[in-house]
Structure 1
Amino acid sequence: MRYRQNQLLMMENIEQFETRLRSESATCNRYLMAVCVRLFFEKRQAKLAEFQEEFARLTVSDDKIDLIEEFVEGLMEELLTPGAILHGMPEWQAQEARLSIERILLTRLYQQVMFPNEDADLSRDTVLSEHISKLQRVISPSHPALCIPQAYLSEAPWSFSQQQLSYISAYKTPREKLQCVIRCISSIMSLLHMSSGRVPAADDILPVLIYVVIMTNPPFLLSTVEYITCFIGEKLEGEEQFHWTLFCSVVKFIKTMDYLD
């Protein structure tokens, strides 16, 4: 029996080690690709400046998105041409390069794409943030407005999920912000499954997610929702679409909540 326990423990340690190695390998690959793309951009500063000037002249969101996608595609063609950095590289490296290009571009354009209406967007975000701050004073996991089943309350207040969502403002690209939402909801699903022993449905997740969003109160929430929806909303499918639809529904619901105990 002891031999079997030691064997199982060793297998678990090996699996954890393999997981850590894969994670570190992916991190190294992303960093390497980011360095290659930065070197690629250093020789194209004039082209990048021209793109930014053209982007600043546009006023319609669809035109801005089209311009970014067209510019990214042009850069990818350069990267993949014979003799270029990525020529002959596998698909995953090309995908990492695309993400790195988007990250660099959207970091430079962040204020323009995140707050296209400038002060009006910031003012709207402030109003919602203040509204959520008031909700924080009266809301609790057992609040009747949430109707969270008793079986799920053992894992409250879902601090890890709040932490994952709180990272959303640290990222610049819509895809990275979306991943924060997905990690948040995925952790909620895991915790609810642990509490009840069954796979939670959307109706189980929603009230908990409402509580998590309220307690996290991410900055610039409305602008973030519009930013992600505008740039990648139509490209989402499967689980990503499911998670994003849940999150958007929660934000809409929170906007209509009152402060009654």
Structure 2
Amino acid sequence: MCKIKPRNFSSSESVERVMDQVEKYIMTRLYKSVFCPETTDDENKDLATQNRIRALHWVTIQMLCVSMDEEIPEVSDNVVKAITDVIEMDSKRVPRDKLACITRCSKHIFSAIKITKNEPASADDFLPALIYIVLKANPPRLQSNIQYITRFCNPSRLMTGEDGYYFTNLCCAVAFIEKLDAQSLNLSPEEFERYMSGQASPRHPSCDGSWPKTSPEHGSTTTNPVLAQLHQNLELLSSLSSRQEKLMECAQSLQSDLLSWQDSVQQEVQDILEKYPLEIRPPIASAIDADNVENNRLPPPLTPQVFSG
């Protein structure tokens, strides 16, 4: 008699696979009910974080001391993929799939740093770069996704392994962004407030007044050409605004001078009229139209004459 050997589900790997399938089935069915529920303040936190990231749009890669050179095509490609992955997290329903997006994003960041520095990236390099990616991506419903993963993901996956490590770093990055201040970016409080209010835009000129260049051999970072163009446009707009203000001041001054000149001319005319009033006399009739002219003295009218040929 043939005996069927039962499958061994005692191993941790098998149990993990079963739990993943159960998690996928349950969370896919319950996603709309348990993601960002009305009983929590997740939505308010999402809006607060989104507005905070928008207000920090001026933060540059140099301020965060990120070791990524976006001038290198491979680095720029990895940055774009990292941004895409962290944004894609919101489209997933299963906590494990959301974690996978975070993991892929983080691996692209490590690749970008490695290409820039020509050596493996360290944890000290990774966190500032992750903060930079989050600021550039401004992922939708970021807080809700973090809370969803925390509440419903397999605890063992969050406590161990690379998924848990990358997720912990994402939570640290969001916390840093929420508490980011002038000291965090090595700025004075006055500079920080001007940048936050939009009154000024950061620029990092070198000693000769030019923008710093990148040298991959020395591991330094390059100014993004898009940011350089942005600063140039802002300076041009500022110059145009100043010129417009001066033009408006000149126009208002000219208008005031014209009004004053008009008043003075009218006053002079009035003074002349008062000093030399005009006398309006009736017109003198000509002799031919006078009543005392004797019509009989006028020459007879010409009569036509007919000449025969």
TM-score, normalised to structure 1, is 0.57
Give distance in 1, aligned partners of 2:47 and 2:39: 13
Counterpart for residue 148 of structure 1 = 66
Cα deviation 1:156-205 (Å, max 9, x = unaligned):
58111101111101111111101100100011101211221211111101
Give the counterpart letter for 1:195 in structure 2. Answer: T
Q: 1:89 to 1:150 in 2, by over 3 A?
A: closer
What secondary structure sits across from 2:153 in the alignment? helix
What are the residue-to-residue correspondences of 1:165-244 with 2, within 5 Å? 165-232=86-153, 234-235=155-156, 236-244=159-167
Cα RMSD after superposing both structures: 2.9
Specify the code of the residue in structure 2 equivalent to 1:167: E
Report the Cα distance in structure 2 between the residues aligned to 1:248 and 1:94, rounded to whole angstroms.
Answer: 28
Q: Which residue of 2 aligns with 1:164?
A: 85
**1:124 equivalenced with 2:45 (yes/no):** yes
Q: CA deviation at 1:111?
A: 3.2
CA 1:243–1:150: 2 relative to 1, 3 Å: closer
Ranges in structure 1 where 5+ consecutive residues have no aligned partner: 1-86
The structure that has the greater radius of gyration is: 2
> Does the 8 Å contact 1:125/1:223 carry over to 2?
yes
Which of 29, 34, 43 aligns to 1:108? It is 29
**Per-residue CA shift, 1:99-140, capped at 9, x if unaligned?**
34322321222133222344732122112112212222x123
User: What is the distance in 2 between the residues matched to 1:150 and 1:107?
Assistant: 37
Supply the AA of the counterpart residue of 1:148. Answer: V
Cα contact 2:67–2:113 (8 A) shared by 1: no
Of residues 174, 177, 190, the one that matches 1:254 is: 177
Cα distance in 1, alignment partners of residues 138 and 69 from structure 2: 25
User: Which residue is 2:59 aligned to?
Assistant: 139
How far does residue 231 in structure 1 lie from its aligned partner after superposition? 2.6
Structure number with the higher helix fraction is: 1
C-alpha separation in 2, matches of 1:151 and 1:221: 26
Distance 2:47 2:179 in 1: 16
The answer (yes or no) to whether the contact 1:141–1:211 under 8 Å persists in 2 is: yes
Checking the alignment, whether the CA contact within 8 Å between 2:90 and 2:98 is kept in structure 1 is: yes
Q: Distance in 2 between matches of 1:153 and 1:233?
A: 40
1:153, CA displacement in angstroms?
Answer: 6.6
Contact 2:68 2:129 in 1 (8 A): no
> Residue 150 and residue 230 in structure 1: after superposition, are their counterparts in 2 closer, same or farther (change >3 A)?
closer
- Verify the 8 A CA contact 1:193 1:200 in the aligned structure 2: yes
How many percent identity over aligned positions?
Answer: 28
**Hey, what's the Cα distance between the residues in 2 that align with 1:119 and 1:231?**
15
Change (3 A) 1:101 1:238: closer
Mapped to 2, the partners of 1:183 and 1:121 lie a distance apart of 25
Classify 1:102/1:149 alpha carbon distance in 2 versus 1 (closer, same or farther; 3 Å): closer
Would you say the 8 A contact 2:67–2:116 is kept in 1?
no
TM-score in terms of structure 2 length: 0.49
Q: Secondary structure at the match of 1:109?
A: helix
